[in-house]
């Protein structure tokens, strides 16, 4: 009896001792290997390859075998091209407007509204907002093009603007920037919407109800309960969508091809490196343009991680310390 | 401290990337045609760009089948044909071909614009098939039948790099019904192509006529003149119209003449200011564009001869309706007294090199091209797709002669010129187009647009001659 008590006492005060090699030995290596290989092959290698190509004069003329090193030549060219500054500002405006008004702003608004109305209605509206994301890009953009076209083909111009005596030309070129923000925003909003909705719905009901019992209005509850509780999802969506928007160009490519002041940096890299009516692709210069984007992306990521203190999210649970 | 070390490491890595000697950069031998023994069985692949498989240009690829049958009999071999009509546009098709060639998986024969000759020749993707026009004409009787001037389009650095497959004239179309409603007599309308040809009707007259149509209320505002809604080689015609040269004949360098360019941009600005063209016409989808010019009364518009076949194929109008509505002539000059003109952009058969295909049968491919270059096959393609003849014998072919539209455009050959075979012509055209759109929309004045093109091309094409 004493023995057993002593044994159980020992068991309570002493944590089981796992072999030490599990913490420091080769096991961690094997566990990390798959993820490490994927990271190296699909994340680091493309960055290195982009940087290497950006230091060459590789183009259709040189092919992939007859290129020469040009050092920072492509970057010097980039600095002296008249389009560079314009592309930079277009990109900045595009990311900022799409992020603020749609990918975060609209996403948050939809999440808040659809969690404050009857559940089934909320689910229905969120499903509707998913439609742009699940529609094939070409079909989705074609729809916008036809909406914007001049009469008698344009949906907006023929049915709304013309009867009201408004402008009747093709709306797309005159409002190209607005259109690229709308086209991307309607797709992008659903990502944040889903994350915010699930975050709001995971807030403990006793806090939500208690706030109302204590006399808070719905708006006050959003301001003082919901927003602080979904701070981390908000930061995550902002970070992720900024980087995502910086490198997105597919919808813009299909919608405008980069005309009328919509050639964002990523599209510029594509157009220079891989798209030319007569097939002259400047892989080197295109890679240099893309490399700037990679560096911008890394800087943004570091900035967000530092400013939003992502490290705090990664702290080991304090319960282990006890 | 660790961060500092990491920073130094990163900087060192970057320095290595940017200062590595060219240890990886290899050289490639000039592609040559080898004399090899043919295997008893082989597969031949042909890619034809910008041509839907069921469209009017399908014979560019399908002509490989009868040609292969002829060659099989001669050599006693079995050829499996793989003709691919690729609906991708020219830019996408070029990218596909480039990447395939780099991977050593290019098709044996590629059918694309002649403007690819310089670029793909420089890249080593295609082989020269002869060193002179005389040599190529002696290779096969079919090549001797090719209209002499067309060899210029496939000549680069003194060698012949391809065989023309068809020729596409680019007319200025006009709506005869609207002109009639504006008070033009039938004779005046019938004389218009001749007036354009002789320089009696210029771009300035076209603007005045269209403005008159709008003023009379016959022509809807914005429907006086429509140009292409998308980038393309055609716009260089409005630079040539004001006397602009594209290429220096002696050196082969590209030329940019600022005054003709300024006049071109001024033209595109004025057609919008006078309400003859929508300010935002660039970006109109092709479906809308074709429907508008055919069914919604546009007075003048320029396009390709091949569009005629497309309108019929798409059911936009019957041929009788097209003849009733539309007239066509050369692109008017911008200079009074100067004759009109048109850009020819022959589609061309080219033979991929051994490096690009991994196979040494280039000589056989040239022979196959010779067997695709026959009066019967070319006329069938020309009539079906509204392309002009490339063979002297086609001009006497009853089927070709029976086609009124092609017959009407016969005189275009005398006033045609080609885009230059310069590897960087695409950049040249892109820059001119982008600034043209800015000038047309009033975002830049014509002078500013010219300045922008000059600044940009000076950086992009170092050996550009600017006058």
Chain segment A211-247, per-residue pLDDT in tens: 888 888 888 888 888 998 888 889 889 888 998 999 8
Interval B214-239 mean pLDDT = 92
From chain B residues 72-131, the ones with a CB under 8 A of any chain A CB are: 90-91, 93-95, 97-98, 101-102, 113, 115-116, 119-120, 122-125
Of B25, B456, B460, which has the smallest distance from its Cβ to A68's Cβ?
B25
**Does residue B270 have a pLDDT over 90?**
yes
Of A77, A146, A153, which has the smallest distance from its Cβ to B459's Cβ?
A77
For residue A317, the model assigns a pLDDT of: 58
Same domain, A180 and A264: yes
Instruction: Measure in Å the smallest separation between the Cα of B383 and chain A Cα atoms.
Output: 27
Closest residue in B to A70 (Cα) is: B18
Same domain, A192 and A109: yes
Of A63, A64, A279, which has the smallest distance from its Cβ to B94's Cβ?
A279
Chain segment A249-259, per-residue pLDDT in tens: 999 999 988 88
**Does residue A178 have a pLDDT over 90?**
yes
Q: How confident is the model at residue A310 (pLDDT cuts 50, 70, 90)?
A: low
DSSP string over B144-172: HTB-GGGGGGGEETTEE--EEEEB----E
Q: How far apart are CA A279 and CA B122, in angstroms?
A: 13
Mean pLDDT for chain A overall: 84
Instruction: Measure in Å the smallest separation between the Cα of B371 and chain A Cα atoms.
Output: 28
Same domain, A54 and A141: no
Does the beta-carbon distance from B426 to A277 stay under 8 Å?
yes
Query: Does residue A22 lie within any of the structural domains?
Result: no
Q: How far apart are CA A154 and CA B288, in angstroms?
A: 9
Same domain, A144 and A246: yes
Interval B232-251 mean pLDDT = 90
Does the beta-carbon distance from B28 to A63 stay under 8 Å?
yes
Q: Identify which has the larger pLDDT, B298 or B8.
A: B298
For residue B95, the model assigns a pLDDT of: 87
Q: Is there a cis peptide before residue B169, judged by omega within 30 degrees of 0?
A: no
Of A172, A256, A279, which has the smallest distance from its Cβ to B116's Cβ?
A279
Where residue A201 sits, what CATH number does that domain have?
1.10.3720.10
- B275, B273, B309, B271: which is closest to B290 by C-alpha? B309
For residue A6, the model assigns a pLDDT of: 46
Q: A318-322, B50-54, B77-81, B299-303: lowest mean pLDDT where?
A: A318-322
Q: How confident is the model at residue A14 (pLDDT cuts 50, 70, 90)?
A: low
Query: Does residue A168 lie within any of the structural domains?
Result: yes
Q: How confident is the model at residue A17 (pLDDT cuts 50, 70, 90)?
A: low
The helix/strand/coil state of B277 is coil
Same domain, A234 and A120: yes
Chain segment B75-96, per-residue pLDDT in tens: 888 999 999 999 988 888 988 9
Which of A277, A298, A302 should we substitute to test contact with B (largest number of B Cβ atoms within 10 Å)? A277
**Does residue A149 have a pLDDT over 90?**
no
Closest residue in B to A77 (Cα) is: B459
Does the beta-carbon distance from A279 to B437 stay under 8 Å?
no
Cα dihedral B82, B85, B91, B94 in deg (nearest 10): 20
From chain B residues 157-196, the ones with a CB under 8 A of any chain A CB are: none
For the entire predicted model, the pTM comes to 0.76
DSSP string over A165-211: T---S-HHHHTHHHHHHHHHHHHHHHHHHHHHHHHHHTS-HHHHHHH
Percent of chain B with pLDDT over 70: 93
Does the beta-carbon distance from A48 to B452 stay under 8 Å?
no
CB atoms under 10 Å from CB of A203, counted, come to: 16
Query: Does residue A21 lie within any of the structural domains?
Result: no
**Does residue A299 have a pLDDT over 90?**
no
Domain count, chain A: 2
For residue B17, the model assigns a pLDDT of: 47
Query: Does residue A16 lie within any of the structural domains?
Result: no
- B-chain residues near A82 (CB < 8 A): 452, 455-456, 459
- A-chain residues near B285 (CB < 8 A): 142, 145-146, 149
Same domain, A202 and A299: no
DSSP state of A161: I
Chain segment B114-168, per-residue pLDDT in tens: 989 988 998 889 999 999 999 999 999 999 999 888 999 999 988 999 999 989 8
Which of B90, B94, B232 should we substitute to test contact with A (largest number of A Cβ atoms within 10 Å)? B94
**Structural domains in chain B plus CATH codes:** 41-167+345-417 (3.40.190.10), 172-342+424-466 (3.40.190.10)
**Does residue B107 have a pLDDT over 60?**
yes
Tell me whether strands B342-344 and B416-418 are parallel, antiparallel or unpaired: parallel
ipTM summary value: 0.70
B135 touches chain A (CB under 8 A): no
CB atoms under 10 Å from CB of A16, counted, come to: 5
Q: Identify which has the larger pLDDT, B35 or B402.
A: B402
Same domain, A52 and A192: no
Chain segment B1-51, per-residue pLDDT in tens: 444 555 555 555 554 444 444 444 444 445 566 677 778 889 999 999 988
Does the beta-carbon distance from A64 to B102 stay under 8 Å?
yes
Full domain range(s) for residue A96 = 90-273
DSSP string over A40-100: IIIIIHHHHHHHHHHTB--STTTTTTS--B-TTHHHHHHHH-THHHHHHHHHHHHHHHHII
Same domain, A287 and A312: yes
Interval B290-303 mean pLDDT = 91
Same domain, A135 and A208: yes
Same domain, A111 and A241: yes
Interval B216-234 mean pLDDT = 91
Does the beta-carbon distance from A280 to B423 stay under 8 Å?
yes
Does the beta-carbon distance from B91 to A174 stay under 8 Å?
no
B78, β-bridge pairs: B41
């Amino acid at each position: 009896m004493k023995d057993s008590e002593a044994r159980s006492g020992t068991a309570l005060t002493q944590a089981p001792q796992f072999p030490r090699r599990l913490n420091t030995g080769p096991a961690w290596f094997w566990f990390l290997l798959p993820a490490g290989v994927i990271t190296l092959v699909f994340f680091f290698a493309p960055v290195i390859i982009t940087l290497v190509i950006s230091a060459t004069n590789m183009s259709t003329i040189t092919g992939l075998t007859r290129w020469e090193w040009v050092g920072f030549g492509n970057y010097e060219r980039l600095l002296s091209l008249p389009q560079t500054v314009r592309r930079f500002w277009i990109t900045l405006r595009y990311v900022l407007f799409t992020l603020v008004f749609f990918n975060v702003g609209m996403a948050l608004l939809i999440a808040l509204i659809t969690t404050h109305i009857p559940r089934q209605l909320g689910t229905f509206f969120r499903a509707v907002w998913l439609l742009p994301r699940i529609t094939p890009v070409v079909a989705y953009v074609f729809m916008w093009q036809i909406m914007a076209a001049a009469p008698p083909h344009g949906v907006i111009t023929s049915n709304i603007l013309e009867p009201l005596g408004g402008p009747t030309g093709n709306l797309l070129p005159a409002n190209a920037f607005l259109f690229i923000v709308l086209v991307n925003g309607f797709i992008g909003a659903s990502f944040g919407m889903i994350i915010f909705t699930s975050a709001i719905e995971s807030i403990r009901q006793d806090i939500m109800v208690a706030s109302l019992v204590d006399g808070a209005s719905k708006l006050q509850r959003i301001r003082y309960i919901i927003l602080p509780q979904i701070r981390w999802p908000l930061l995550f969506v902002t970070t992720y969508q900024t980087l995502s928007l910086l490198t997105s160009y597919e919808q813009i490519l299909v919608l405008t091809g980069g005309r009328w002041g919509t050639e964002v940096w990523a599209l510029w890299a594509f157009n220079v490196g891989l798209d030319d009516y007569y097939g002259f692709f400047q892989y080197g210069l295109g890679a240099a343009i893309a490399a700037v984007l990679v560096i911008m992306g890394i800087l943004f990521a570091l900035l967000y991680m530092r400013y939003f203190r992502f490290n705090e999210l990664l702290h080991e649970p304090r319960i282990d310390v006890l | 401290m660790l961060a500092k070390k990491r920073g130094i490491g990163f900087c060192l890595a970057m320095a290595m990337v940017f200062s590595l000697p060219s240890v990886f950069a290899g050289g490639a031998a000039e592609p040559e045609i080898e004399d090899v023994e043919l295997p008893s069985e082989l597969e031949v692949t042909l890619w034809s760009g910008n041509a839907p498989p069921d469209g009017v240009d399908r014979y560019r690829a399908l002509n490989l089948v009868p040609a292969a049958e002829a060659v099989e009999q001669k050599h006693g071999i079995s050829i499996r044909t793989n003709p691919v009509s690729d609906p991708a546009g020219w830019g996408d098709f070029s990218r596909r071909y480039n990447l395939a060639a780099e991977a050593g998986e290019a098709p044996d024969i590629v059918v694309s614009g002649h403007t690819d000759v310089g670029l793909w020749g420089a890249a080593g993707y295609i082989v020269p098939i002869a060193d002179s026009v005389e040599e190529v004409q002696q290779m096969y009787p079919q090549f001797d039948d090719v209209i002499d001037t067309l060899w210029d389009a496939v000549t680069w650095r003194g060698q012949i790099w391809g065989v023309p497959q068809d020729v596409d004239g680019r007319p200025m179309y006009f709506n005869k019904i609207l002109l009639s409603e504006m008070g033009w007599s039938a004779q005046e309308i019938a004389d218009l192509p001749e007036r354009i040809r002789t320089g009696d009707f210029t771009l300035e007259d076209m603007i005045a006529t269209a403005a008159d149509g709008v003023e009379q209320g016959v022509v809807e505002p914005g429907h006086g003149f429509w140009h292409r809604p998308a980038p393309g080689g055609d716009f260089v015609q409005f630079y040539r119209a004001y006397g602009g040269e594209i290429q220096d004949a002696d050196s082969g360098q590209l030329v940019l003449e600022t005054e003709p360019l300024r006049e071109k941009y001024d033209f595109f600005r004025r057609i919008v200011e006078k309400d003859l063209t929508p300010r935002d016409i660039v970006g109109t989808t092709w479906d809308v564009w074709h429907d508008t010019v055919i069914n919604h009364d546009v007075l003048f518009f320029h396009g390709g001869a091949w569009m005629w076949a497309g309108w019929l194929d798409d059911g936009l109008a019957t041929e009788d309706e097209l003849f009733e509505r539309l007239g066509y002539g050369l692109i008017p000059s911008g200079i009074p007294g100067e004759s009109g003109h048109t850009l020819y952009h022959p589609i061309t058969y080219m033979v991929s090199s051994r490096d690009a295909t991994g196979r040494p049968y280039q000589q056989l491919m040239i022979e196959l091209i010779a067997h695709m270059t026959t009066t019967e096959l070319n006329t069938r393609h020309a009539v079906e797709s509204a392309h002009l003849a490339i063979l002297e014998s086609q001009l006497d072919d009853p089927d070709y002669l029976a086609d009124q539209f092609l017959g009407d455009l016969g005189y275009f050959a005398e006033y045609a010129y080609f885009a230059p075979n310069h590897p960087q012509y695409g950049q040249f055209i892109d820059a001119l187009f982008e600034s043209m759109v800015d000038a047309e929309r009033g975002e830049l004045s014509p002078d500013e647009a010219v300045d922008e093109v000059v600044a940009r091309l000076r950086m992009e094409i170092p050996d550009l001659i600017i006058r």
